[in-house]
Structure 1
Amino acid sequence: MLAFITWDVSPIIAEIGPLTLRWYGLLFASGFIIGSFILSHVYKSERVSPHWVDVITVYMLIGTVLGARLGHVFFYDWESYRNNPGEILKIWHGGLASHGATLGILLATWLFSRNNKFDYLWVLDRIVLVVAVGGALIRLGNLMNSEIVGLPTQQPWGFVFVRDAEKLEPATRPLPSGAVLVERSRDASGDVVRPVDINTPVGAGTLMAVPRHPSQIYESLFCVFLFVLLYRLWSRYKENTPRGLLFGLFVVLLFSFRFLVEFVKEDQVDFEKGMALNMGQILSIPLVLVGLWVLFTARNRPGTPQDAPRDLTDAEPPKPLSVQTQKR
């Protein structure tokens, strides 16, 4: 049995002169790198030129970053950005929303499909494999940043997020099981939280970090599960996969889980306090409904459309037996 995990990991990997290398940025970029290898394998298996992977990766990168940033601005913090529109461009200050990223990806893949004459649902069915991997890595990035934490828990796998300056509580005696006494100060980079000796006298301003649900790990592991499930389905059917099946399943499962996991997560912004459902849950509902419609109508759609670009680099694929028979 675990007895709580004190999470005091620095989000910074290294500082090289003016350059700061962070875990979040590395994991975010890794999602696109790993995803490009997965998509290349998928495209080659279906005899589609892998050069399209480079093209759609550019669309995906722009759509993900812009969508995630604008989603945060308009869904979670419009009051702040309305008076400081220049801050919208400062992505390095933090503030990305997964629902916004989803909308950005949907728009980016639609533009890719339209501009390059691909079937939209065919593209979405393959791109969700990449999105699942990226989602798992981004949530690990949130873990390294000690952000998007869960509610307090006494479960033995609870994490004590020492560095989360926004979720500290007034210290009490006796300390709750697993709690860590901390002190908060400020420097040029903002709030700094450090653990202190457990025997430090508890005063009016003494703070503590308590065990919380590691919701980032919950979501990351679920994304891994989604990837395995979707990849196995694709491996079984490949080009015969009914269009919309993988995308619909991905959206329904991911955002249903997101709806449920929000019940063990802290509210992200102040206006969510007192709401029956928080913003993450409200935004998940229409996506689940869209996914259900796409999923249940997928059986009416064949696999790869005949007019989808194949870009065969080798010999033409074998002709159907009926055609060969007719020529004899």
Structure 2
Amino acid sequence: MEHLIWNADPTIFALGPLELRWYGLLFVGSFFLGLLILTRIYKREGKDPAVLDALLIYVMVGAVLGSRLVHCLFYEPEYYLSHPLEILKIWKGGLASHGGLAGVLITLYLFAKRYHTSYMWLLSRVAIPGALTAAFVRIGNLFNSEILGLPSDKPWAIIFSRVDMVPRHPVQLYEALSYLIIFVLLIAVYRRVTPAFATKILPGVFLVTVFTARFLLEYTKTRQESYTMDIPFTTGQMLSVPYVILGILWIIWAYKSDSKESSHDKASHS
């Protein structure tokens, strides 16, 4: 059986020690695309989009710092604790999406306080382009021939010739497609419900769908961590579980809160 051989150069062009890589272009580009989406949302809801340039900086800093620290401390702790200065060398690669989300949650809180914005409102709207960024990052991983899938004889398996000649699950594409579907789902929910309910429900939907997809697709990946655990789950799965649980609780709270408000409104008008 013939399989697609993937040998794309991860570097678009290099000028001396400086390189422009597909991963970086997709990562940064997704944030600017997200900025355009948030601009439309702000205008749709009568808010001033002038603050979005500052929001972009907050989100990018949170995403990079959070994802880098979690990668270093959870996926390769022995190496980075022995070589702490290596943690600063982000350009060498090594970012973890779970940490990126944690970092964004923190910086969004700081932004909300600084600019007197509702944290919940902000969180729910940023969730929409957040799914798109996750998809772009996985396409970047594809160009880097990293986060490889397990060997597979499926007709759509891909040979990453920069690594080996073994046909593998294109798990980067699995995840990218999953996150694009979630992106469309979040937009559909946002447009169909009231703005008040969107504020409550969207973060929960994001957490449940993104990290359930991540948990399940880990079964098609090679292990990324540099150590072994005597449990049948990967580090990625273990880090996904708290987010899924939080998302489920969030959705339950959103529906209960909305139901209480509806009952109160009916009572006040009777």
> What secondary structure, in the 3-state scheme, does the structure 2 residue paired with 1:244 have?
helix
Residues in 2 aligned to 1:242 and 1:26: alpha-carbon distance in whole angstroms? 31
Q: Would you say the 8 A contact 2:62–2:104 is kept in 1? A: yes
Q: Would you say the 8 A contact 2:147–2:221 is kept in 1? A: yes
1:237-293 CA distance string (max 9 Å, x none): 352334330110110011011111001100012313664101000011111011111
Residues in 1 aligned to 2:138 and 2:183: alpha-carbon distance in whole angstroms? 14
* Match status 1:67 vs 2:23: no
Q: By how many angstroms is 1:222 displaced? A: 0.7
Which stretch shows the higher mean deviation, 266-275 or 84-93?
266-275
> What secondary structure, in the 3-state scheme, does the structure 1 residue paired with 2:20 have?
strand
* Match status 1:260 vs 2:219: no
Residue 7 of structure 1: aligned partner: 6
Residue 282 of structure 1: aligned partner: 238
Residues in 2 aligned to 1:300 and 1:46: alpha-carbon distance in whole angstroms? 24
Residue 154 of structure 2: aligned partner: 155
Residue 101 of structure 2: aligned partner: 102
Instruction: Determine which of 177, 183, 187 is the counterpart of 1:227.
Output: 183
1:128-155 CA distance string (max 9 Å, x none): 1111111111000000000001000011
1:73-129 CA distance string (max 9 Å, x none): 111112111121111111011111111101101111111122222222211110011
Residue 116 of structure 1: aligned partner: 115
| Matching residue's letter, 2:222 | E
> What secondary structure, in the 3-state scheme, does the structure 2 residue paired with 1:270 have?
coil
Q: Would you say the 8 A contact 2:76–2:226 is kept in 1? A: no
> What secondary structure, in the 3-state scheme, does the structure 2 residue paired with 1:150 have?
coil
Q: CA RMSD in A?
A: 1.5
Residues in 2 aligned to 1:158 and 1:115: alpha-carbon distance in whole angstroms? 48
Q: Which runs of 4+ in 1 moved over 4 A?
A: none
* Match status 1:297 vs 2:253: yes
> What secondary structure, in the 3-state scheme, does the structure 1 residue paired with 2:159 have?
strand
Residues in 2 aligned to 1:59 and 1:7: alpha-carbon distance in whole angstroms? 35
Q: How many correspondences in the alignment?
A: 258
| Matching residue's letter, 1:295 | I
- How does the TM-score come out when normalised to structure 2? 0.91
Q: Would you say the 8 A contact 2:189–2:198 is kept in 1? A: no
Greater strand fraction, Structure 1 or Structure 2: 1
Distance 1:273 1:264, change over 3 A: farther
Q: Would you say the 8 A contact 2:225–2:235 is kept in 1? A: no
Distance 1:151 1:273, change over 3 A: farther
- Bigger Cα Rg: 1
Q: Would you say the 8 A contact 1:149–1:214 is kept in 2? A: yes
Distance 1:270 1:135, change over 3 A: same
| Matching residue's letter, 1:58 | I
Residue 126 of structure 1: aligned partner: 125
Q: Would you say the 8 A contact 1:242–1:298 is kept in 2? A: no
Residues in 1 aligned to 2:18 and 2:150: alpha-carbon distance in whole angstroms? 34
Residue 317 of structure 1: aligned partner: none
Residues in 1 aligned to 2:207 and 2:32: alpha-carbon distance in whole angstroms? 22
Residues in 2 aligned to 1:275 and 1:13: alpha-carbon distance in whole angstroms? 40
Distance 1:242 1:15, change over 3 A: closer
* Match status 1:218 vs 2:174: yes
Residue 139 of structure 1: aligned partner: 138
Residue 244 of structure 1: aligned partner: 200
Q: What is the percentage of aligned positions where both structures have the same residue?
A: 41
The gaps in structure 1 that reach 5 residues or longer are: 169-208, 303-328
1:178-211 CA distance string (max 9 Å, x none): xxxxxxxxxxxxxxxxxxxxxxxxxxxxxxx111
The gaps in structure 2 that reach 5 residues or longer are: 259-270
1:23-48 CA distance string (max 9 Å, x none): 01100111111010001001110011
> What secondary structure, in the 3-state scheme, does the structure 2 residue paired with 1:151 have?
coil
> What secondary structure, in the 3-state scheme, does the structure 2 residue paired with 1:92 have?
helix
Residue 267 of structure 2: aligned partner: none
Q: Would you say the 8 A contact 1:267–1:273 is kept in 2? A: no
